[in-house]
Structure 1
Amino acid sequence: MDINKNDEVADLVSKIKSHDSYGKSYKWAPRDFELGTELGQGKFGHVHVAREKKTGYLVAIKALFKSQIVHSNCERQVLREIEIQSHLKHPNILRLLTWFHDERRIYLVVEFAAGGELYKHLTNSPNGRFPENKAARYIYQVADAVEYCHQRHVIHRDIKPENILVSYNGDLKLADFGWSVHAPSERRKTMCGTLDYLPPEMIKREVYDVSVDQWCIGILLYEFLVGKPPFESEGQSKTYTRILALDMTYPKYVSEGAKDLISQLLRQSSKERLSLDGVKKHYWVQNFQNV
């Protein structure tokens, strides 16, 4: 490992840890938890369910190897994720409860979402898709969570089923803020996210704003109802072409109301995309809220 790089990680961690707004959040250490079953693997480490020894409180612990973070030049990305998620408190956003580190790892302690990944729920559903009532309830929760983020000038930039978890009671928890950014100016140019979910302005390398998340929510809703993204193709170039041309079709079983909502989100012009409040108030979503 590059010693200077490792020192930079330690320095950045120290700066954030000592920040006044975090203060009392860093009392726990690895010895305070009993590790349980592995829940999955991430880019830089493993995720385990864990029990806090004194209270018995169940959490999930994401252990990230510093060496892998440094090797991928992702130090600032990881620390930005910690800083952003530490400040988000919403019922449909996975809470980052605390974090700490030792010589080898950074540990993120997050609330335990007993239902696991939404993606697995989707693939295990009949025909690999959600019924409309469930899709409408889920898209309301995602829109509400992302609207909360936007009110705090946070753009998620990687909304997809793999980055959403399901709680014990069946509610969604928006997670994985690795590509998120705090952008008070709400103007960015970095290309990031997932191929099938990229909005046209990112593909064209244009300056973009929070409305990239609205595009992603439109893709997400389509995937909820159909079981795959609308522009999925063989290879990056074909996918790009289909996105830029809005080349998509709807299976016959997708209702007119759902198509109307998706079409208002998947607009080439970001200014024409339906607001997140508009998503929550859309008649198709509202029809299923009390079902």
Structure 2
Amino acid sequence: MAQAQPRSMSPSRSEPLSVQLSAKSAPGIKAQREPATAPKRHAAQSSVPIAILSIEDFEIIEQVGEGHLSAVLHCVDVRSGIHVAVKSYHKDRMNLISSRQVAHEIELQASLQHSSIVQIYAAFEDKEGIYVVQEFALGGDLYAQLAQAGGYLAEDQVACEVMVPVLAALGHMHDKGIMHRDIKPENLLLSEEYEVKLADFGLAINTDAQAPISRVGTLDYMAPETVRMSTTIKRLPHGLPPQIEAPAGIQIRATSAMIVRISTSLAGGSPRDAPAGSGAKANYGKAADVWAVGILTYELLIGGPAFEADTK
């Protein structure tokens, strides 16, 4: 069977932010600076110290991804030797809406502590960018692995190695009122041990705070009720030029052992959807994520999208 084809895809010292460290840091890591040790692969139970405030605290190994607003860097934390992914957002390409969306994404993802969800370890900024330190996926993404496997996987692999962690992650999110809205192989990352982890919360929404009214996601995986929505908002970078300079002084507060909340006027939910209580009617809900999982399952087993045509 033919292989699946991909769909698309100088640091300066930061000025210290006002960060309140929790009394308890992440397991096995001391908050104070320690001499760098020999690099070691990331372990899911470890974490970068929440005291890190500068990109210079990381050794950049390579760039592994790039978009209009951001680049993803494979780095090693020089204090602990842990391998991490650092997502670096370029402030000179951001406007008020995209800045708010980044704040929203960080807040949602950081609220989800689950073994099958990519974890955020830290967030900080300098004059040039906003940086999000995350769990590093040494195994790449499921889409690449699918292509290497010939376009499809065995039934037991799909059921046990993919669907079990995906559904566990989705159940955890839905219990907290959070929809992902972009479940697909590219957003399922693999750890060093090839454990599947859900990533990329750029389209996620907390349905307790907002009504989902936007037609967002990847068309192959969108539920009919989502496709029918009249409001279409493009995926980051929102199709908007950088007309407004990103607000300075985004404040980051460390909470519990990890991170995270960005708390200025940027906070308050996704700019794509309507605030709860605004009177906007939510025409789709968490079931849209379940639909996407069904389409994902079909693709992994069959080797192609469930719905495909030469025309609309």
Q: TM-score, normalised by structure 2?
A: 0.65
Name whichever structure is richer in helix by fraction.
1
Match of 2:225 in 1: 201
8 Å Cα contact 1:97-1:109 kept in structure 2 = yes
In the TM superposition, residue 164 of structure 1 has moved relative to its aligned partner by: 1.0
**Structure 1 residue runs without a partner (length 5+):** 1-13, 239-291
1:135 to 147, 153, 158: 158
**Equivalents in 2 of 1:168, 1:147: separation in Å?**
24
1:157 is the counterpart of 2:233: no
**Structure 2 residue runs without a partner (length 5+):** 1-16, 26-49, 230-281
**Equivalents in 2 of 1:19, 1:86: separation in Å?**
16
Match of 1:176 in 2: 200
Give CA deviations for 1:205-232 in whole Å, capped at 9, x if unaligned. 2611111100000011011112221112
Q: TM-score, normalised by structure 1?
A: 0.70
**Equivalents in 2 of 1:136, 1:43: separation in Å?**
35
1:45 to 52, 70, 88: 70
Match of 2:303 in 1: 227
User: What amino acid does structure 1 have at the position aligned with 2:286?
Assistant: V
Match of 1:30 in 2: 55
User: What amino acid does structure 2 have at the position aligned with 1:216?
Assistant: A
Q: Number of paired residues? A: 219
Give CA deviations for 1:18-50 in whole Å, capped at 9, x if unaligned. 6999x9845331111100022222342221111
SS at match of 2:59: strand
SS at match of 1:116: coil
**Equivalents in 2 of 1:52, 1:134: separation in Å?**
33
In the TM superposition, residue 75 of structure 1 has moved relative to its aligned partner by: 2.0
8 Å Cα contact 1:186-1:209 kept in structure 2 = no
Match of 1:56 in 2: 81
8 Å Cα contact 1:26-1:100 kept in structure 2 = no
Percent pairwise identity: 36
In the TM superposition, residue 234 of structure 1 has moved relative to its aligned partner by: 3.2
Deviant stretches of 4+, over 6 Å: 17-21
Give CA deviations for 1:238-272 in whole Å, capped at 9, x if unaligned. 2xxxxxxxxxxxxxxxxxxxxxxxxxxxxxxxxxx
SS at match of 2:214: coil
**Equivalents in 2 of 1:178, 1:28: separation in Å?**
23
The higher-RCO structure (CA 8 Å, 6+ apart) is 2
Match of 2:237 in 1: none
| Residues 19 and 153 of structure 1: CA distance in aligned 2, closer, same or farther (over 3 Å) | farther
User: What amino acid does structure 2 have at the position aligned with 1:179?
Assistant: L
